Amino acid sequence: GRDLRVVAKEAGKLDARLAASYVAQACEGIAEAHARGVVHRDLKPSNLFLTTDASGRPLVKVLDFGVSKLSRERGDQPDDLEITRTCQVFGSPHFMSPEQMRSTRDTDARTDIWSLGATLFVLVNGRYPFEGDGLVALESAIRTGPRPALDADIPAELGAIIERCLRTEPAARYATARELGLALARLAGDERSRSVASEDAATISPGWVPMVIEQADAPAAREWTKAPVTRVATA
């Protein structure tokens, strides 16, 4: 297979519903990570790998959880150095949430929602949602600059999804990767991707940080952060 950066570069930009289907599948993997208390923190097109499943259908895999292991609980480096190393090793900061730019200690699952929104924007527009020379300038553009404009041919529904992902305040974004995945699967008309988020996921309380999801047939989940624990019983 190939990563979505290469796929999008060759195409110039992807069809909106195709991009929605790809990112909906990525949401499935990210939701599983979030359920185990893991925040990826480096989601971007080059870390989404497009291949096929056993029946030949497109299958997106989420790659490279290296940065997700660099949590502040390790205590081996200051937050600002950690951000610097992230940018040096993993490239462009254009997919980092504003809170991740300021301090990794402020990041939770909703930082991945931002990154998925930025990824969607790039896939369907062929450019970054915000521009800036370095982290400070980029954060300033996000905070004070105009909101990113989508190309005229992008469906309004997808535009609304991307806009919600890219809201500066984490609480204003989608609460979970499952919620985002379901919205994208509905837009794409992708029955396979609808498994990303069952209707049971709607029981999540608005505004809660979905760091841990406890399944009915699984042992009690560990609390990885001080964020409220959201428990969802799945069939």
The SS3 call for residue 228 is coil
What is the C-alpha to C-alpha distance for residues 101 and 135, in angstroms, rounded to an integer? 7
**Catalytic site residue from 3, 42, 112, 190:** 42
What is the C-alpha to C-alpha distance for residues 226 and 228, in angstroms, rounded to an integer? 7
Rg (CA), the chain: 17
Instruction: Clarify whether 42 is annotated catalytic.
Output: yes
Cβ neighbours of residue 173 under 8 Å, at least 6 residues apart? 110, 113, 114, 117, 164, 165, 166, 167
- Using N-to-C axis directions, what is the helix angle for 109-125 and 177-188, rounded to 10°? 30
Phi, then psi, of 211 in degrees rounded to 5: -80, -30
Amino acid type, 30: I
What is the C-alpha to C-alpha distance for residues 233 and 204, in angstroms, rounded to an integer? 10
Q: Could you list the active site residues?
A: 42
